[in-house]
Structure 1
C-alpha cells in the first residue's frame, strides 16, 4: 500500500473514532434539549391512539445502548370528563435510535414494560379495550388493511399496506384485568413475554407466559400478514398453548375482526376431560374420573358457528371419528354431532353425559350433571364394540341431550349379556329441582353376566331373563331417586340357578323353629325351572304383586315390601309342593324375611317338615 493511502486510511479511521466519541459525548446534551418528555409522550400517543401521561421526566442512558427510562407511565382514553386508564406501567424502558435523536426525533426500536396492567372493560359478558382515536398510527394501518380487504376479500392487495418500523415490545410481570365499573378482576397474572414486529407489513410473533385460572400457561402465536388479520381478512395464523390441564395447537388461517373467521387444523390433548373443563370454567361434570382426552379436527367457522370436520376424538381410551357442530345462536351454545367408535368405553360416556350423578349433590341441591346452563348438547354415538367393566357390548347406539330444562341419556340399542338391552335416563329441571325418569328393558339377558358387570352378583339368578324397569321421582342423585321414585318392574326368567340359596339347608334350619341369617344357607345353589316377578314401586318401596319361582317339586312365592335404597326388608314367603298329594295333610312352609339387603334373616312361621 502506498504511504499516502495508508496515511489517508489512518485519518479516516481517526475521524470516525472522533465522530463516535463526539456523538456519545453529545447525546446526553442532545437528549436533554431535544428528547423531552412531551416528544416521547407524543410518539407513544401517535402510535397507540390513546392519551399518554408521563408523571416523571425520562432518564437518559447512553451506554451500552442509547435508551430512555420512564417511571409511572399511563395510557388513558380521551374521555374529557372521566378519563379511564387503559394501560399503566411502573417503568418503561425504550431503546432509541441515536441517529434520529441527533435529528431531534424519537424513534423506538425496542420497548420494555415492567409490571404493566392492561385494563379491559366488561359489558354484557364481553371484554373490550376502550376505543383509541382514529388518528392512531396502528388504528390507521388497520383501517388501510380493512379497505384493501373490502375491495378484494379473498385476495386483498397488500402492496399499499404501510411498512412503518415498529420493533419489539417486551413485558414483564404484567396483569390483564377486567373492569365492569364496580370491581376489577384479574384475568391473567404474572404475564411476561415479547411481541416481535419489525415492520407493520412483516411477520409478527408473540411469545408470552402467565397464570390463567390458577395454572401456568405458555403461548406462542405468529402471522405473516398481521394487518390483514386485524383488518378482517383471512391471513395465516399459528398458535400453540401449553399448560398442565391441556395442550392446544392451531395451524391455518383466521380473521380477528368482524365475525372472527377461522379455518385450520386444531389439536387438543388433556390428561383429564373433567380437569380441562374445570380449568376453563366452561361447564360441570358429574365426575372427576373422565379422561384423558385428545381431539384432532379441521375447525371451520366464525362467532356464530364452528364446525369440527374430520374429527378424531380419543376419550378414556376410546377412539371415534365424525362431525361436531357448535352454534352460538340465541341462548346457550349448542354442541351437536355424530361420532362413530370402533371400541367405546361405555362407563366413561355415561359418567360424562348422565343427567344424574352417582356422587354427592352440589350446594343448590341439583346433581352435578353436564351442562348446567353453560352449553346445550345434542350428540349421537355409535360403536361396533363397547366395554362395560369386563362385559362387551356390540352394535351400540346412544344419544345425549342437555339443555337448561331437560337432560337425557339413552342407549337405544345394544347387543349385550346374551340378548339385547335398552337404557334411558331423563332429568327434568323445569320446576327448580330435578325430576328423574329411569327406564331399562332387556330381552333374553343372562342376568348373571349383567349382575357381574354392575357388581351386584349376590342372590342374582343365573338364568335368561326378559325384564323392564320404569322409575320416576324427584332427586339430585341416583340414591335419592331410588328412595323417592315410583313406577313398575317386571321380569320373566327361564331355567337356571340362584347361587347362595340351598333349599335343603333352608328346611333344616326352619325345622329348628328359630330365625337364622340368610348367610347360613348360602353354601350351594337353588335350581329353578323358571320364575315370574312383578311389582309396583311407590316412594322407593316395591310392593310385590307376583314373585314366584319353580324349583322341581316346589313352588316358592314371596309377598310384601322391598325398599330399593337398602332399607329394612319386610317379606312373607311360602314354599309348597307343586303337585301336592290330595291326601297329604302337610301345610306349606311359611316364613318371614327381615333385616336389610346386605344382611337379611329368615324367621320360620310354620314347620313344613
Structure 2
C-alpha cells in the first residue's frame, strides 16, 4: 500500500513538468534564430537591394494605379530600420504623350514601406504611403463623379466592382493591397464640369485606411477653401461602389466653422434614388454661410441659425423626410417634409411642421429671400433657390411677430413659378382673432404685391399698455381691417410705397390723455396750446370708427368719429407715415343736439408732432340770420 499523500491531480500533472522545459528551450532557440535572421537582413539589405529596382518599382506602381505615367526626378532614399522604406522626390504624373500628355499632378515627396523579402526576390510591393505636398488636378463630370477613366488599377476596380445586395464583389484579378495613405500639406483643384467652376483646396491633410480594394475604407480629410477650414470624415464597407455612383453604405460628416452636417445610411454621390438613412445639419450663422458661398442677400439678417435632424428616404420623384426636428433661430419644430421634382427642372419643398414657440419674422424674411431670388440685377443670383417651390403648412402654440404675439396659429407658405402666398388662416391675437394674407404679383414677383389682414375682438387697450405706446390712443376692444398694395417688390417696399385702406371700429372705451373739458377751456383762452397742457383726463366713448387711405407716403384720415356720451370727436387730414408730424382738422360737438347751446361746435387744427401735438382753435364765423319776409 502506498503511503504517498501527494494529491492525485498533482500526480497527473507531473508529466507536463517534464516536457515543458524542452518546449521553452525550443521556442527560445527559434526566437533567437529569427532575431539573427532579422538583424542580418537589415544589415545586409543595403548591399542586397537595388535602389534602382525599388525606384522603378514604385514608378510602375504609381503608373499602374493611376493609368498615367509617373516620372521621378529626385534621387531616392532608402531606409531599412525599423522597417524598409523608400522616399522619392519631385514626382510628376501625367498622361502618356500619345494620350494627350495631360498633367494629373505633382508630388514633392512620396515615401512608402516595401517588402524586403519581395525586394530580395527582385519584385517590389509597397504599402503605408505618405505624400508630402501633392498638387493634384481632378475633374468632376456631369454626373457628379470624379473622372477615374485613366485605365489604371483604381479605375478598373471601380468599373469592375458589382453589387450583390448591400455587399461589394470584386474579381480577385482586379483586387490589390492598398494599406494606409497619409497626405500632408496638399493642394487639390477640382474642375466641376456641371457648373463650369473650379474648386481650390489647400492645406490638405488626409489619413486614409484602406487595407485592400475589396475591403472597407475610412478616411479623414482636413482642408481649407475660400478661407474656411473643413473637416470631412468618411467611411464605407463598399467604397468602390460609392466611387462608381452606385447606392451603397455611406457614413460621412462635414465640420467647419460655419456648419456641421452628417449622413449615415444608404446613398449615392451622383443620384438620390435608393437613399435611406439619417441626416443632420446645423448652421450657426446663416448670413455668414451665404456670404462665404457668395450668395449673401440683403434683408435676411434675421435668419441667424438653422438646424435639422431627420430620417430620409427616397420617394416618388424626390425625398421624404420623417421624424423631422427643425430649428430656426432657437425655435424648434417637429413634423414631416418632402422634396419632389416638378416640371421645368424645378424642385418643390412641402411639409407640415408644428412649433411650440416660434418667431415669424425669419419666415417672412425667408419668404422674401425666395422671391428676391427671381429678381434680376437688384440681388445676387438665387441659383437653386430660384428654382425652388414651397408648400409648407405649420402651426404654433406661441408665435412672435415683434412687437406682436399670437397664439394657436395655423399658417402656410406657398411659392411656385406663378404664385407666392403667405397665409395666417387662424390665430388668437390680444384676446381676439386674426387672419392675414400676403401675396406677391406673378412673374418674377418683382411687380408688387398685396396684404390683407383682419382682426376681430382684440383688446387694443391691453396692446397699447403692453407696448408702452405714448399719446392719445384708444383703449378699447375692437376690430381692424387692413388692405394694402404696392407696385414695388415686397423686399424693397417702404411705407411710402404703400397704397390701400385701414378701417378701425370699436365699441366702448376711452382715449387716454384727451381731456375734452380742459381742451374747451384752453381754446377759450389761447390761440394754440400743446395737448399735454389741457389736462390728463381720458375721453370715454361708446363707439369709435376710423377710415384711413394710404397713398404717396401719407395716411388720409377721411372718416374718424369717436362718439362719447356727452361729446363727439371728429378728425380728418393727413399723417405723413415717415415722420411724426400731423396735419389734421378736428372738432368737438355735443353728441345730443339738444345740448348744442351748452356745448357749441369747437373746430380746431392739430399740428406739431406725435405724441404731444399742438391744438389751434379755429374761430367759428357766425352765419347771418336769414332776412325776414
**TM-score per shorter chain, which class?**
0.7 to 0.9
Do structure 1's residue 491 and structure 2's residue 515 form an aligned pair?
A: no
Pick closer, same or farther for the CA change 1:395–1:19 going to 2, 3 Å.
Answer: closer
For residue 309 of structure 1, report the CA deviation from its aligned partner: 1.3
Which segment drifts farther, 96-105 or 526-535? 96-105
Match of 1:501 in 2: 514
Do structure 1's residue 139 and structure 2's residue 155 form an aligned pair?
A: yes
For residue 110 of structure 1, report the CA deviation from its aligned partner: 1.4
TM-superposition CA deviations, 1:322-365 (whole Å, max 9, x none): 211123554454322211223333344444435699xxxx9954
TM-superposition CA deviations, 1:160-198 (whole Å, max 9, x none): 565521111111222333447999854433221211001
Matches within 5 A, 1:75-224: 75-77=93-95, 80=98, 82-121=100-139, 129-134=146-151, 136-146=152-162, 149=163, 152=164, 154=165, 158=169, 163-179=175-191, 185-224=198-237
Contact 2:192 2:199 in 1 (8 A): no
For residue 90 of structure 1, report the CA deviation from its aligned partner: 2.4
Match of 2:65 in 1: 47
For residue 17 of structure 1, report the CA deviation from its aligned partner: 2.5
1-structure distance, mates of 2:54, 2:600 = 116
Matches within 5 A, 1:576-587: 576-581=589-594, 584=597, 587=600
Q: 3-state SS of the aligned residue for 2:169?
A: coil
Contact 1:284 1:371 in 2 (8 A): no
TM-superposition CA deviations, 1:123-170 (whole Å, max 9, x none): 77x865444234x22222222323xx2xx5x35573756552111111
Match of 1:240 in 2: 253
TM-superposition CA deviations, 1:471-492 (whole Å, max 9, x none): 1124466784310221122121
2-structure distance, mates of 1:578, 1:517 = 25
Which segment drifts farther, 218-227 or 563-572? 563-572
- Structure 1, unmatched stretches of 5+, are none
2-structure distance, mates of 1:317, 1:583 = 60
For residue 425 of structure 1, report the CA deviation from its aligned partner: 2.6
2-structure distance, mates of 1:424, 1:368 = 27
Match of 1:353 in 2: 367
Contact 1:556 1:574 in 2 (8 A): yes
TM-superposition CA deviations, 1:288-329 (whole Å, max 9, x none): 344544322101239962221121223334332221112355
2-structure distance, mates of 1:120, 1:217 = 19
Matches within 5 A, 1:165-564: 165-179=177-191, 185-231=198-244, 233-256=246-269, 259=272, 261-275=274-288, 278=291, 284=297, 286-301=299-314, 305-328=318-341, 330-354=344-368, 365=378, 373=386, 375-388=388-401, 392-402=405-415, 407-428=420-441, 430=443, 433=446, 435-451=448-464, 458-475=471-488, 480-521=493-534, 523-564=536-577
Which segment drifts farther, 136-145 or 174-183? 174-183
1-structure distance, mates of 2:314, 2:295 = 20
Which segment drifts farther, 506-515 or 370-379? 370-379
2-structure distance, mates of 1:395, 1:142 = 55
TM-superposition CA deviations, 1:578-605 (whole Å, max 9, x none): 1234873974211222234466332222
Q: What is the aligned counterpart of 1:69 among 76, 87, 109?
A: 87
1-structure distance, mates of 2:264, 2:27 = 58
Contact 2:507 2:544 in 1 (8 A): yes
Higher alpha-carbon Rg: 2
1-structure distance, mates of 2:383, 2:170 = 51
Q: 3-state SS of the aligned residue for 1:65?
A: coil
Which segment drifts farther, 252-261 or 412-421? 252-261
Instruction: State the TM-score, normalizing by the size of structure 2.
Output: 0.82
Q: 3-state SS of the aligned residue for 2:50?
A: helix
TM-superposition CA deviations, 1:467-517 (whole Å, max 9, x none): 211111244667843102211221211111222323233333323333333
Contact 1:203 1:223 in 2 (8 A): yes
2-structure distance, mates of 1:478, 1:502 = 42
Match of 2:40 in 1: 21
2-structure distance, mates of 1:499, 1:371 = 53
Q: 3-state SS of the aligned residue for 1:36?
A: helix
Pick closer, same or farther for the CA change 1:77–1:195 going to 2, 3 Å.
Answer: same
Contact 1:325 1:335 in 2 (8 A): yes
Instruction: State the TM-score, normalizing by the size of structure 1.
Output: 0.84
TM-superposition CA deviations, 1:389-427 (whole Å, max 9, x none): 686533311112345775432212212212111123333
For residue 272 of structure 1, report the CA deviation from its aligned partner: 4.1
Which segment drifts farther, 449-458 or 202-211? 449-458
Q: 3-state SS of the aligned residue for 1:584?
A: coil
Contact 1:346 1:387 in 2 (8 A): yes
For residue 573 of structure 1, report the CA deviation from its aligned partner: 0.9
2-structure distance, mates of 1:594, 1:175 = 70
Contact 2:515 2:535 in 1 (8 A): yes
